[in-house]
Structure 1
Amino acid sequence: MNEFELIRRYFDRPAKNAVLGVGDDAAIVRPTPGHDLHVSVDMLVEGRHFFADVDPAALGHKTLAVNLSDMAAMGAAPRWVVLAVALPHSDEAWVARFADGFFALADRFDVGVIGGDTTRGPLTLSVTVFGEAPSGRALRRNAAQEGDDVWVSGTLGLGAMALREKLAGDLKLPADALAAGLARLERPEPRVALGQGLLGLAHAAVDVSDGWFADFGHILERSNKGAELWFDALPTHPWLAERRARYPELIAAGGDDYELAFTAPAANRAAIEALGLQLGVAVSRVGRVRSPEAGVSLIDSAGRPVALQRAGYDHFA
Structure 2
Amino acid sequence: MAPSTRSLVMQETDEEDWFAEDDAPPTAVAPATEFDHIERLLRPLTRGDPAALDLLDDAAVLPSRPGYDLVITKDAMVAGVHFLPDEALDVVARKLLRTNLSDLAAKAAEPYGYFLAVGWPSGADVASRETFARGLAEDGAAFDISLLGGDTVTTSGPLVVSATLLGWAPQGGAILRRGAKPGDRLMVSGTIGDGWLGLLAQWGEVMDADGAMLRRYRQPEPRVTLRDAMRIHAKAAADVSDGLLADSSHIAKASGCRVRVDLERLPLSPGAQAWLDQQPEQVEGRISLASGGDDYEIVCAVDPNEAWNFRVAAAAAGVKVSEIGEFVEGEGVSAYYRGRDVTPSRLGWLHG
> CA separation in 1, counterparts of 2:342 and 2:200?
21
Partner in structure 2 of residue 9 of structure 1: 40
Larger Rg: 2
Partner in structure 1 of residue 59 of structure 2: 26
Does the 8 A contact of 1:23 with 1:115 survive in 2?
no
Cα deviation 1:99-127 (Å, max 9, x = unaligned): 11112111122212110111112201100
Q: Which of the numbers 245, 259, 272 marks the counterpart of 1:240?
A: 272
For the residue of structure 2 that corresponds to 1:80, the secondary structure is strand
Question: 1:17 Cα shift?
Answer: 4.7
Partner in structure 2 of residue 159 of structure 1: 195
1:131-280 equivalences in 2 (<5 Å): 131-167=167-203, 169-171=204-206, 173-176=207-210, 179-241=211-273, 242=277, 243=279, 244-280=282-318
Partner in structure 1 of residue 150 of structure 2: 116
For the residue of structure 1 that corresponds to 2:233, the secondary structure is coil
Cα deviation 1:4-31 (Å, max 9, x = unaligned): 3322221112455543432210001103
Give the number of equivalent residue pairs.
310
Does the 8 A contact of 2:104 with 2:167 survive in 1?
yes
Identity, in percent, stands at 36
Question: 1:174 Cα shift?
Answer: 4.3
> CA separation in 2, counterparts of 1:196 and 1:72?
10
Does the 8 A contact of 1:31 with 1:132 survive in 2?
no
> CA separation in 1, counterparts of 2:305 and 2:316?
19
For the residue of structure 2 that corresponds to 1:305, the secondary structure is strand
Partner in structure 1 of residue 135 of structure 2: 101
Aligned amino acid, residue 253 of structure 1:
S
For the residue of structure 1 that corresponds to 2:342, the secondary structure is coil
Cα deviation 1:73-132 (Å, max 9, x = unaligned): 000001110000011133222221221111211112221211011111220110011111
Partner in structure 1 of residue 117 of structure 2: 84
> CA separation in 2, counterparts of 1:204 and 1:78?
19
| Structure 2 portions without partners, runs of 5+ | 1-31
Please, what is the CA RMSD of the aligned residues?
1.8
Does the 8 A contact of 1:16 with 1:111 survive in 2?
no
Partner in structure 1 of residue 17 of structure 2: none
Cα deviation 1:55-80 (Å, max 9, x = unaligned): 22211110100111110000000111
| Structure 1 portions without partners, runs of 5+ | none
For the residue of structure 2 that corresponds to 1:126, the secondary structure is strand
1:40 counterpart = 2:73: yes
For the residue of structure 2 that corresponds to 1:142, the secondary structure is coil
Q: Which moved more, 1:202-211 or 1:51-60?
A: 51-60
> CA separation in 2, counterparts of 1:124 and 1:2?
21
Q: Which moved more, 1:86-95 or 1:243-252?
A: 243-252
> CA separation in 1, counterparts of 2:153 and 2:118?
7
Partner in structure 2 of residue 297 of structure 1: 334
For the residue of structure 2 that corresponds to 1:28, the secondary structure is coil
Cα deviation 1:187-227 (Å, max 9, x = unaligned): 11111111342102110000111111111111100000112
> CA separation in 2, counterparts of 1:130 and 1:57?
21
Does the 8 A contact of 2:201 with 2:208 survive in 1?
no
For the residue of structure 1 that corresponds to 2:346, the secondary structure is coil
Partner in structure 2 of residue 288 of structure 1: 326
Question: 1:276 Cα shift?
Answer: 2.2
> CA separation in 1, counterparts of 2:351 and 2:131?
28
Does the 8 A contact of 2:334 with 2:344 survive in 1?
no
Partner in structure 1 of residue 90 of structure 2: 57
**What is the TM-score normalised by the length of structure 2?**
0.83
> CA separation in 1, counterparts of 2:304 and 2:48?
39
Aligned amino acid, residue 89 of structure 2:
P
Q: Which of the numbers 38, 62, 66 marks the counterpart of 2:99?
A: 66
